Each structure stands twice: as structure tokens, then as C-alpha cells.
Chains A and B, each alone.
Chain A
Amino acid sequence: MTAHIPAHLKYTKEHEWASAQDDNVVTIGITHHAQQQLGDVVYLELPEIGKTVEKDKIFGTVESVKAVSDLFSPLAGVVVAVNEALVNHPEDINQDPYEKAWMIKILIKQPEHLDELMDSVAYARYLGQHTK
């Protein structure tokens, strides 16, 4: 099975994705590969609106039948939106990790940091090296 990796997103080594909008707001979620490794997700904990998140620091946790896993923010910023519907239906993370299962939106201070994240090609290579 090859992991599904959309071309328009940016990726981290911790298997989060980030999607930049033009107004410096970045949407964050976890990748197809991440949900596959977790198995059926049963709980999700997300920060509240207004909270500051740091780059590469924990912003929440996701818990599956099998394991619990921390969520790491790809970038620093302030939380401006939280997907409350997803907290109530965390199984959507397994169904649709890139659309329905977006987790938070943050307002970033340093848009140039986006370029430090992996693009889809780099992430595909990273997966290839680390999952064989």
C-alpha cells in the first residue's frame, strides 16, 4: 500500500501536514500514513482558540484503540480555529485525514518557516526510507 500524499501540502517528520492560506493562516492535520499506523482513532485532544503553539512542540494528543500519540505543531503560531466536530467524531481521521480531519488553524508569525517543511516529494522519500 502506498501512502496517499497530496502535492499541495507540506509535511513534517512527525507525520503532520500543513496547508498554507494566503493570509498567513495554516491548517494542520496528520497524514494518511500517521492514521494508518495508529489504527482506529477513538480520542482526540486539541488546544483552545487563542492558545500559542510552538514549532515542533506538542499541541494535542490523538489516541487509537492501540496507542496514544502526541501531535506536534509544524510551525509556531496562535490557534485561530479548532475542528470541534472532529473531537466528537475522531474516526474521521481514519476516513479523511486531509480534508474532513483538519485539526487546528494557526496564525503564523514567520511564513518563511513554511519553506523548511518537506514538500510531497521529500515526504514520500522520507516515508520510503523510514518504513522499509
Chain B
Amino acid sequence: MKRTPLYDCHIRLGAQMTDFGGFEMPVRYSGDKVEHMAVREKVGLFDVSHMGEILIAGPLAEEDINRLLTNDATKMQNGQAFYAAMLNTEGKIIDDVVACKFSAEKFLICVNASNREKDFNWIRENCSYAKDVSDDFAQIAVQGPRALDLVAALSQKELGFLKRYHFVEGKLHLELQTTDAIIARTGYTGEDGFELYVPARDAALVWEALLKVGALWGVIPCGLAARDTLRLEAGMCLYGNDIDEDTTPLEAGLDFVVKLNKTIPFIGQDALQKQKLNGIAKKLCGLRVIGKGIARHGYSIHAKTGERIGIVTSGTQTPYLNQAIALGYVNGTFMHPGTEVAVDIRGQLIPAQIVPIPFYKKATKELS
């Protein structure tokens, strides 16, 4: 199993480790709820170095990106990051990614750990120049309402101007040295925050500095368990659970990153257009369990009559909302918010309701 450059830091902090995407990753340090709440109320640190980074460069980079990804790179400014899906010719999702546009000639695509090799092979086949630079980078996510204070302190930069889904290249000031960093105002928690791409060799120093300086704002290290409940509350998809090569972005509700009117069509566009025309048979919906129990990945969803109408893809008891929520694919007429359904929780049909995604929105703090 692979380890990130922060492995020793996790062990020193007493983290419980688990296998995730081929990496030995921290699942929790202090507790899932405590870590979840730290991100909603203060600030939390995540090692996300397992994520892969692929560089696409050269005079054809923007064209290549627009062929590979569903979003429109030509509409993005330099210094903007954007979410997108990468599809196969059938319109099914190879991966969901965040791309950073440095210029029309240079993009960095952040991919899921478990898909790194598959993605790189696919990208290489379909573009003029690509390089897997995953091992050069460590990635640390700093998430929560105080993330801005913490990252601004370490970069000695006013970062309030930086819009969400934008990034700057800068330096982080560590105790005895500085290090380069791509500072992106992105995240996977539904909270304000940053993802720092730093050289792998300096990762441990950056991590230590974030913990030390961040103590002022109550920073704590957070594991994959909290990352999962946070992203689920925010209604964000997890590749391998909610989306995969059996689903299209239209089914997954990712229409907002699917641009069908680009000058260069993306791979899989024909298939999506056909699907749009024929109608979408299943759709990813939010679910709230009304009875007692937690709907989990793989549990079946039923109509009130008992008829099977779908399947749960992710589910948990969310610490912040303190409710059992889930994402799942539901057929046809049952996909509208307010519809009463049931989930088969270990042999018992427990009442649930279709609700809008996201479950949690920053600032409103309410179940939407």
C-alpha cells in the first residue's frame, strides 16, 4: 500500500489508519463528530495527498481539456479552477475532477486517487501532452470558516479577494524556510476553505506549521470519515459510490458542469444528447430517513407500495444536522422532493422522504 508524504505525521498524531484508493490514510484522529464540527465551526486540516495531479500543457492544452472534460475551459479565466466530469464515449463517468487553468497552454487536473492510472491512460490517449505529476505534490485541505485566517497567516498574503474556485501561486512561510504553493479556494466539505498543493518534500513542514499557527483558531486534523460526512451533507458526489462508469452526469445531477454548446464537443457528448432526448430514467436524489436507522450504500429504495424503485449510493447520520441522510438513484416519477418512499434497512422498510440536494448550505445552517 502507498503512503503519502504526511504518513509519519498521522502516526505521531495517533490517527487510526485505513486503506483508501490504494493509500494508507487517516480515517480519524479524535472522533468523527468532533472533526466534522471543527470544519463547520472552526477549521480542520485534511491530508488529501492521495489525490492525483495530471499536467496538461502545450499549445493545444485548452482544446484537449475541452475534448476531455464536460465543462468549458474557454469560459474560464486564468487562475480559475473548475469542476467537471470526464466521460467515455458512452457518456459514462470515468472520473470527476477539478481542473486549474493557469493559461490556455497549462492546466493541472486533480483526479481521484483510485482512478489515477486509468485517468492518466485515458488522458494520454486523447491529448497532445500530459504528465502525471502526482508524486511531486502533496495536497492539504484547510477547511472551515477560519481557514481564510489560517492560510492568510501562513502565506502572509491577503486572500479575502480570492474568489471561490480561484487560485493563486504563492509562498508559504514556514519556521525556517518558505515553500511554493498553489493556493486554491476549493474544497469538498461545503464550507469555505483552501486546498494547498505543495512540494512533496516540504509537506510535513507545511502540515506542522498549519497545526501550530492554526491552534489560535482551534484547528484540528481531520480524517476520511469526517471528510465523507461533510461532503455528503454538502451533497457532493463520491466517485465509486455515487458516480461511476455506470452513470452519466445527467443522471448524477451534474448538468451544471455539462456544456453542450462548446466549439469542441467533449467525448461522450453524443451519448448525453441522446439520453437527454430519450429522457433520464434514474436520477440521483437526496433522501432523509424519517424512521430510525441509517440508509447505507447498497440498500434498496422502495415506493410506499413496496415496489423497488432505486438504490442508496451513500448514507450516514450527519453530525451537524443530526439526521440520517443519503444519496441514491431513484426511478422516474419518484424523484421529486417531498415524495414519500422507504428504505430497506436490514430487512425492515423504514420511511424516508426525497429531499433537495444539498442537505447543508453554508450560512443557512438548515436542511434545505
Contacts and interface: CB of A to CB of B under 8 A. Distances in A.
Interface of A: 1, 36-37, 39-40, 42-43, 61, 63-66, 68, 94
Given A66-B32, A66-B316, 7 more contacts: A1-B14, A36-B16, A39-B225, A65-B32, A65-B229, A66-B228, A68-B294
A39 B296 contact: no
B296 A65 contact: no
A43 B33 contact: no
A60 to B, nearest CB: 12
Contacts of B32: 39-40, 64-66
Chain B interface size, as a band, is 10 to 19
B103 to A, nearest CB: 42
B2 interface: no
Interface string B198-229: 00000000000000000000000000010011
B31 A43 contact: no
12 contacts: A1-B14, A36-B16, A40-B32, A40-B319, A63-B294, A65-B32, A65-B229, A65-B316, A65-B317, A65-B319, A66-B316, A68-B296
B14 A40 contact: no
Contacts, number: 39
B166 interface: no
Contact of A94 (B27, B31, B317): B31
Nearest 4 pairs of A and B residues by beta carbon: A42-B317, A39-B32, A40-B32, A65-B32
B157 interface: no
Interface in B1-54: 14, 16, 27-28, 31-33
Contacts of A42: 294, 317
Interface of B: 14, 16, 27-28, 31-33, 225, 228-229, 292-294, 296, 316-317, 319, 346
Nearest to A66: B225
B275 to A, nearest CB: 34
Contacts of A94: 31
A66 B229 CA distance: 9
A68 B346 CA distance: 10
Contact of B293 (A1, A40, A43, A64): A43
Contacts of B27: 39, 66
B319 to A, nearest CB: 7
Contacts of B228: 66
B136 to A, nearest CB: 31
Given A65-B317, A65-B319, A40 B33 contact: yes
Contacts of B16: 36-37
A56 B302 CA distance: 33
B14 A39 contact: no
Contact of B294 (A1, A39, A40, A43): A43
Contacts of B28: 39
Contacts of B31: 39-40, 94
Nearest to B34: A40
